[in-house]
Structure 1
């Protein structure tokens, strides 16, 4: 085996939770499914909290990032409009997901050792809506490292838990196995909406920051991962992945956290040729958010790593580098 994981991970032996066979599968493919990882009692708590947040007065949760599908902009202001909530690292209920012991131990098996200090870097709960016919519920094939200003990639891992039955009909995740061993590729806004609606631009019909791999090779074989409630995907930030259109009448819900090994990861200025654009887009969203909150932040000398510095949280041990 080569040194995926910087040579610190013992891929040949059982871990805290994972078997050597499971660890080897992740090493080779860049993703792993752990069935029944999170119990229904926990999922019920997250669902209840999500519904409460969506229907609460926004002033009760001023720092949360609540996102709505642009094609649903004129619908009623309820949970049916909210497609995603982010930045809930300080919510006492939802952050319990990030600290769930089984998930943290699996993450240690994949990006560290039992003594590693693990940090939650990005939190999101996704409520994929039924598609309105404009493909806005589809997330193009992409690499998560496109959004991250920290490295090394091998010591970053996502946990993504199904909060209901998820299949191809409602837009399950799909992966191109093995692509985590390649480079970070250029990303752009997808052009399918431009082709379908030539009178508009890609930015006007796609949700902000939904970038996809530039000139993605559609002939690459994909694995479509169907899941039951509580099943959890763990995947590498360089693996090519995305999700299809939700063709059902209901929403498709999942909760996720990206983790990093705080002992060995660091912020980096390393970028590909298109990462500057996503940084600008995300900083623009950050500036709008702080302005709405009446917070004065001089962003002229800041880059997007600043937003990770203020929202990353330890899930065990201490935080020092991130």
Structure 2
């Protein structure tokens, strides 16, 4: 990426609260990640308590095990992922957009099964997190399938990261939270992506996705980054995003902790 392109991307991210990153993975690399992803989904890789259904209160359709499968810390459950290209490339994006003192805070897989039609409610990620003096955070959302309006592409609200955090409440039995917002909100923007492409958003950016009404999966890999000092403060306050201190440590590709 050229310096001008980096500057434009950074300006867009800080102005809108989100930005389309473009391709992070080749078609061959996408296939490799899908193969591992499916091993998580079919149970070949044991996820233990890291797996949940964010749409647990919705009726499952079409034989789906979950409506919205969330798997926290895939890189801890399957460390070989750290030797593949995505973590290093996403970290470089995070450095470019919010600073080179950031490292991986957590990663997760979110899959919307075919014909489940369960939306992910509008929310701001910061509403899940502990208060920190440095609020810089970035989520890199990577499409492993083409992401469309029909299967649940991401929607973001332009400029919402510059407004106060909205009141949130539990969305149901799956652990998701929600706030008041809709597709009619001024600045609400759908971001469709091809497989291998990514988008980024900040912790205060309002976002959501529709349910999957198509006959194919909508697999996404999400990587979250924040300053190393803030991660240390998070951990001291008991926030490890479900990793648990007695599990294997996660190394940060391209950075030291």
TM-score (norm 2): 0.81
Matched, 1:167 2:132: no
Specify the alignment match of 2:60 in structure 1: 72
CA contact (8 A) 2:127 2:168 kept: yes
Please identify, of 177-186 and 224-233, the stretch whose mean Cα deviation from structure 2 is larger.
177-186
Gaps of 5+ in 2: none
How far apart, in 2, do the equivalents of 1:95 and 1:175 lie? 28
Q: Using the TM superposition, give the Cα deviation of residue 183 of structure 1 relative to its aligned residue in structure 2, in angstroms.
A: 2.2
CA contact (8 A) 1:151 1:266 kept: no
TM-score (norm 1): 0.66
Match of 2:226 among 260, 274, 281: 260
Please identify, of 224-233 and 93-102, the stretch whose mean Cα deviation from structure 2 is larger.
93-102
2:3 alignment partner, SS class: coil
Q: Using the TM superposition, give the Cα deviation of residue 82 of structure 1 relative to its aligned residue in structure 2, in angstroms.
A: 7.3
Q: Using the TM superposition, give the Cα deviation of residue 165 of structure 1 relative to its aligned residue in structure 2, in angstroms.
A: 1.0
Specify the alignment match of 1:84 in structure 2: 70
Match of 1:223 among 189, 198, 207: 189
Q: Using the TM superposition, give the Cα deviation of residue 217 of structure 1 relative to its aligned residue in structure 2, in angstroms.
A: 6.1
2:121 alignment partner, SS class: strand
Q: Residue 268 and residue 76 in structure 1: after superposition, are their counterparts in 2 closer, same or farther (change >3 A)? A: closer
What are the superposed Cα offsets for residues 169-194 of structure 1, whole Å, 9 maximum, x if unpaired? Answer: 1111101011111222210134xxxx
2:23 alignment partner, SS class: coil
How far apart, in 1, do the equivalents of 2:84 and 2:164 lie? 30
How far apart, in 1, do the equivalents of 2:147 and 2:28 lie? 18
Q: Residue 28 and residue 305 in structure 1: after superposition, are their counterparts in 2 closer, same or farther (change >3 A)? A: same
Specify the alignment match of 1:14 in structure 2: 3
Say how many residue pairs are matched.
Answer: 247
How far apart, in 2, do the equivalents of 1:267 and 1:47 lie? 34
Q: Using the TM superposition, give the Cα deviation of residue 305 of structure 1 relative to its aligned residue in structure 2, in angstroms.
A: 5.0
CA RMSD of aligned residues (A): 3.1
Q: Residue 239 and residue 45 in structure 1: after superposition, are their counterparts in 2 closer, same or farther (change >3 A)? A: same
What are the superposed Cα offsets for residues 268-296 of structure 1, whole Å, 9 maximum, x if unpaired? Answer: 69xxxxxxxxxxxxxxxxxxxxxxxxxxx
Match of 1:140 among 95, 98, 121: 121
Matched, 1:24 2:11: yes
How far apart, in 2, do the equivalents of 1:103 and 1:121 lie? 12
Bigger share in strand: 2
Q: Residue 98 and residue 183 in structure 1: after superposition, are their counterparts in 2 closer, same or farther (change >3 A)? A: farther
Match of 1:181 among 120, 138, 162: 162
Gaps of 5+ in 1: 1-12, 191-202, 270-301
1:46 alignment partner, SS class: helix
Q: Using the TM superposition, give the Cα deviation of residue 27 of structure 1 relative to its aligned residue in structure 2, in angstroms.
A: 1.0
